[in-house]
Amino acid sequence: MKAEKVVPVKKNEKHTVKIEDLTHEGMGVAKIDGYPIFIENALPGEEIEIKIHKTGKSFGYGKSMKRLTSSQNRVEIKDENYTRVGITPLQHMTYSSQLTFKRQQLRNVLARIAKMPEVPVFETIGMAEPWGYRNKAQIPVRKIDDKLTTGFFRKNSHDLIPMENFVIQDPKIDEAVVIVRDIMREFNVKPYNEGANTGNLRHIIVRRGYHTGEIMIVLVTRTAKLFPTSKILPAITEALPEVVSIIQNVNPSRTNKILGSENITLWGQDYFTDTLLGNTFEISASAFYQVNPQQTEKLYQTVLDYAELTGTETVIDAYCGIGTISLSLAKNAKEVYGIESVEAAVENAKNNAKLNNIDNVTFEAGLAEEVMVEWSEKELAVDLLVVDPPRKGLEGTFIEATLAMMPKKIVYVSCNPATLARDLALLSEGGYSVEKVQPVDLFPQTNHVESVTLLVKK
């Protein structure tokens, strides 16, 4: 029988450790008798006095009590609360070291999961000003000290920490959240009580066009009633003249999902607009639109560079959303086919094609893996496939349909290095060569990294 592995530390013990590495989430890793301890706000090379606060069979967690030495990659943090709620887990790192860390994440998974250590991973494309970049805020509403309050949940909990300045959001959005919150207080709107499933206002969502300045307000409520709308709406539009759309989203479920399925247009239009790479886009309340517009342009430009379209190609853009990549590709392609599962986004995409006078794009509503199977059975001849899947990556049936079609090139936009590496291994086995990977930092101060990978048929 194998001897039970002995955990060499106990809860509440104090130890002095040296940080050896970072996890993919950006936590420091120290080892005590080979047993890994993960520590927030810690950087490689630093010596730290820690207190053990959780142990498991294979690893534990420690809290930094006193830093004895500091890394040259450390900067002063803006506010501990940002780490507590998890919105800026890397705020203690210099920005250049964040970019290096993100590149290394991709190199690690390509070597470990895809078994492709030789694939070039270029330096991460960063931002000149890596703060105040987010064009969308989804802010929970709760009652604290008998007042409707906005803020953010402490990590791994539903305890709201009151906050007004989120530092990574467009400052105009932070201002708008506070204005809407104060209006809700003024008219005695009842904040949501999660435990009792009572009250009404669950979230305030603000979306803003980076280039247009247009603002959409989404009020997420438990019930379809929202009183007194006749006073709330003029108060919002008077205080925020940039608002073009006020939507009520009804979410009656006891769930962690922010949005429900019902949208009611309370005022203005049911979308706001923004521009990206010279195209104008209508964006509805439920539609996906990248949250960092400055870096999205760099991300999509990399897609166009890797595509190298000449005007003769047939292209599929899977997970196309409101058509942001499809319409950029269409300008230099013969025909583009977009696939998207969210029907409202498909409607946006069709409108966006008309808005930009682009007539060589066809948008199909459906699950990407199902539509791809249909098209492969119809033997659609495809020169280029562009994919931008959610974090879970590509479905097995999607990859099978792709290998049946065998487009000459695949450009894979990924927001999750681990699932990217898994999918690259499968596509490589199926007959593709993985040529190069370009990381792009869409989420400064966080551990997330987007990337664009070029695959070519062998």
Residue from 109, 176, 372, 415 carrying the catalytic annotation:
415
Give start and end residues of each alpha helix (H) in 114-228: 171-186
- Residue 160 phi/psi, 5° resolution? -80, 125
C-alpha dihedral sign at 307, 309, 313, 319? positive
- Phi-psi label, residue 198: left if phi above 0, alpha if psi -120 to 50, beta otherwise: beta
Instruction: Please confirm whether the linkage preceding 228 is cis (ω < 30° from 0).
Output: yes
User: Can you tell me the distance from the alpha carbon of 23 to that of 440, in angstroms, rounded to the nearest whole number?
Assistant: 19
Contacts 24+ apart (CB under 8 A), 351-354: 351/282, 352/279, 352/280, 352/281, 352/282, 352/322, 352/323, 352/327, 353/323, 353/327
Give start and end residues of each alpha helix (H) in 240-342: 293-307, 324-330
Element (DSSP H or E) covering residue 417: helix 417-429
Cα-to-chain-centroid distance, residue 400: 27
Residue 415 bears catalytic tag: yes
The answer to whether the CB of 374 falls within 8 A of the CB of 367 is no
User: Can you tell me the distance from the alpha carbon of 238 to that of 235, in angstroms, rounded to the nearest whole number?
Assistant: 5
The answer to whether the CB of 450 falls within 8 A of the CB of 414 is yes
Give start and end residues of each alpha helix (H) in 260-395: 293-307, 324-330, 343-355, 368-377
3-class DSSP state for residue 177? helix
User: Can you tell me the distance from the alpha carbon of 347 to that of 325, in angstroms, rounded to the nearest whole number?
Assistant: 15
Residues catalogued as catalytic: 415
